[in-house]
Amino acid sequence: MSLRSILGGSRIKKRKQGAGSHPQTASASWHASLPRTKAAAAVQPKLKGGRADEDLFGDKLDDVGLIQCLSTDLSLRDVPQVMRHVRNRMFDPVPERASGMNSTRTAEVLNFRRNLPPISTTAHLHAILPRPSVTDREIAELTRAGIVRKIVVPRRGAAGEALVEMADIERLIQTAQTLGPATKDAFLEWLRESPTSQRLPRGRLDAKVADELVRAGFLTSSIQGTGASEGLFARPEDRTTFMSLETVARAASGSVGAVGGQGAVHAAGGSGNRARGEADLGDLSLAIPGNGAFIKLVSSALDQLTAILSRCAYREAPEVLLREKWDGGVVRDAQEEARRSRGEFSGILPGRTRKWKTFHGLNFDWLLAEAVGSGLVEVFQTRTVGRGVRLL
């Protein structure tokens, strides 16, 4: 008799137990039957226009009234005084210790500031002075008297309309090394004779004198700036580079006019040379050296400020939080300064932030006044967090 017949003719099989039959198995695998989901901390809402960590302020601020004048200095009374005040407070001083910039970068920042023209935009003056109409009348009177000169760059928005004192223009002309004595005298004579004129007739000065002034940056062709503009101040009709079909259709097949004419790329907003012809006989516009760098700096800074506000839930944020974001999160209290002096500071150095790498230390208060005068933002008072800034 075999062992299998003694045990009943079948092999002993281990009974299968369910998930809840054994207490130890159930306690160890109770979560196996639950649906698998991601952790709540790992799922972050994606905001429109940026990442979730770029949400600066998600609450609605209480508005108790707009602030019409940003200046709190009661000593500012006339336009020339405000112009000097604005120019002197455009940039923050370079940190003496732990700036995060070597000597070469510091020299580049200081040289860039020194080469900027001594100008102030009219939009900035309107944000500082309390009554815009009175400010405009004073500017007109000072212009007619030859004390202040207006410099206008077409299609550059509020940043393209600036004011400069006549004394500063004379100083720039006298210190220009590329201008001869006869050129300086002729140009200064025209400036004094036409204090309100923005254009110089091409036949008013000799061709050699006009060429020296153009090369030095004091004059520019009046037809420049009529191409397609880009960025914050672009118009809808300027956002295209197609040639006019009506103009091309009139030209005979196979001619130069059938493909847009000479200088077609330049007329369409490109970098090609424009055509030599009747357009070269136009007037010359008054300019100032370094104005292009000034406009580029202001326009890019305004773009950055509006981009920060656009990432907020309600397109508004407290001024304190916006200032901290512009400064790059660099803390400047007494405790942090003491830690830096002891070598214990481990935060972000100012030279590593965008404020100093791109904008050369542009002051936040100056930029805010420029944005308010340009009509991009408005400043209002709140009950809890001080002043708020809203994107228009």
Q: Are residues 150 and 86 in the same domain?
A: yes
The residue among 264, 288, 312 that closes a domain is: 288
Residue 22 lies in a domain: no
Q: Which pLDDT does position 88 carry in this prediction?
A: 92
Distance set, CA 23 to CA 15, 16, 17, 26, 28 (Å): 16, 15, 11, 5, 9
Q: Which pLDDT does position 290 carry in this prediction?
A: 92
Q: Are residues 323 and 283 in the same domain?
A: no
Q: Are residues 188 and 132 in the same domain?
A: no
Tell me the C-alpha distance between 245 and 258, whole Å. Answer: 10
Q: Are residues 71 and 103 in the same domain?
A: yes
Q: Are residues 159 and 184 in the same domain?
A: no
Q: Are residues 203 and 302 in the same domain?
A: no
In contact, 248 and 257? CB cutoff 8 Å: yes
In contact, 149 and 141? CB cutoff 8 Å: no
Burial class (CB in 10 A: 0-12, 13-18, 19+), 336: middle
The residue type of 392 is L
Tell me the C-alpha distance between 283 and 73, whole Å. Answer: 42
Residue 246 lies in a domain: no
Q: What is the CA radius of gyration of the chain?
A: 33
Structure-token match 């510091």, residue found: 106
Q: Which pLDDT does position 348 carry in this prediction?
A: 76
Distance set, CA 373 to CA 6, 78, 302 (Å): 104, 17, 11
Q: Are residues 284 and 297 in the same domain?
A: no
Q: Which pLDDT does position 165 carry in this prediction?
A: 94
The helix (H) or strand (E) run that includes residue 84 is helix 79-88
Q: Are residues 308 and 370 in the same domain?
A: yes
Burial class (CB in 10 A: 0-12, 13-18, 19+), 317: buried
Residue 272 lies in a domain: no
Q: Are residues 132 and 186 in the same domain?
A: no
Domain of residue 190, residue span: 177-224+279-288
Nearest residue to 276 (alpha-carbon basis) of 263, 259, 258, 285: 263
Q: Are residues 210 and 295 in the same domain?
A: no
Tell me the C-alpha distance between 250 and 242, whole Å. Answer: 16
Q: Are residues 143 and 284 in the same domain?
A: no
3-state secondary structure 182-223: HHHHHHHHHHHHCCCCCEECCCCCCHHHHHHHHHHCCEEECC
Residue 264 lies in a domain: no
Residue 271 lies in a domain: no
Tell me the C-alpha distance between 47 and 315, whole Å. Answer: 12
Residue 94 lies in a domain: yes
Q: Which pLDDT does position 125 carry in this prediction?
A: 92
What's the number of domains the chain is made of?
A: 2
In contact, 364 and 370? CB cutoff 8 Å: no
Q: Which pLDDT does position 56 carry in this prediction?
A: 61
Q: Output the six-digit token pair for 104.
A: 């070469």
The pTM score is 0.71
Tell me the C-alpha distance between 371 and 299, whole Å. Answer: 10
Q: List per-residue pLDDT tens for the chain, 392 residues long.
A: 555 555 555 555 555 555 444 544 444 454 455 555 544 443 444 444 444 445 566 778 888 888 888 877 777 788 999 999 999 999 999 988 778 888 999 999 999 999 999 999 999 999 998 888 999 999 999 999 999 999 998 888 888 899 999 999 999 999 999 899 999 999 999 999 989 888 888 788 888 998 999 999 999 886 544 444 444 555 444 444 444 555 556 666 656 556 556 555 555 555 444 444 444 456 889 999 999 999 999 999 999 999 999 988 889 999 998 998 898 876 555 666 666 666 665 567 888 889 999 999 999 999 999 999 999 999 999 988 889 999 98
Tell me the C-alpha distance between 329 and 164, whole Å. Answer: 35
Q: How far is CA 242 from the centre of its chain?
A: 28
The residue among 288, 316, 333 that closes a domain is: 288
Nearest residue to 368 (alpha-carbon basis) of 50, 59, 67, 131: 67
Q: Output the six-digit token pair for 137.
A: 């009348």
The residue among 268, 288, 308 that closes a domain is: 288
Residue 267 lies in a domain: no
Dihedral sign computed on CA atoms, order 9, 12, 18, 20: positive
Tell me the C-alpha distance between 352 and 332, whole Å. Answer: 15
Q: Are residues 284 and 308 in the same domain?
A: no
The residue type of 182 is A
Residue 12 lies in a domain: no
